[in-house]
């Protein structure tokens, strides 16, 4: 089980820092595309050759291909959640700037018309 444990732990830490620290950077967007592409390719391969998942699983020390898929899915899910969270925060930041600007402009306008 050692190989998969190392891969998973490194995967978790990498995703966590990478994406939480640089929300919305070009690198992150590029990684999203690369990972989406990789997942699609792997999914197609797994569908056409059901045995590949099993063989890959054995190679990294996991019992069955289904387990390996679950691990990959968990990683992907965490990645998606973190991405949504950071994107939400970024949106919030922009919204704050905008709403504040409107409030200040409105107040200045009212004062001028007094």
Positions that interact with another protein (CB under 8 A) = 17, 20-23, 85-86, 89-90, 92-93, 95-96, 99-100, 102-104, 106-108, 110-111
34 vs 99, beta carbon nearer another protein: 99
For residue 36, CA distances in Å to 7, 33, 61, 89 come to: 19, 5, 25, 23
34 vs 105, beta carbon nearer another protein: 105
31 vs 71, beta carbon nearer another protein: 31
Q: Minimum CB separation from another protein for residue 31, in Å?
A: 16
Which residues touch 77 (CB under 8 Å, ≥6 apart)?
Answer: none
Q: Minimum CB separation from another protein for residue 105, in Å?
A: 10
H or E element, residue 9? helix 2-21
d(CA 92, CA 94): 5
């Amino acid at each position: 089980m050692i190989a998969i444990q190392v891969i998973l732990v490194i995967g978790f830490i990498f995703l966590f820092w990478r994406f939480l620290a640089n929300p919305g950077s070009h690198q992150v967007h590029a990684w999203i595309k690369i990972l989406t592409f990789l997942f699609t390719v792997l999914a197609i391969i797994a569908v056409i050759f059901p045995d590949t998942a099993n063989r890959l699983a054995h190679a990294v020390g996991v019992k069955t291909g289904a387990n390996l898929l679950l691990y990959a899915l968990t990683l992907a899910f965490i990645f998606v959640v973190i991405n949504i969270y950071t994107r939400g925060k970024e949106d919030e930041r922009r919204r704050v700037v905008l709403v504040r600007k409107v409030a200040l402009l409105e107040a200045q306008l009212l004062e001028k018309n007094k």
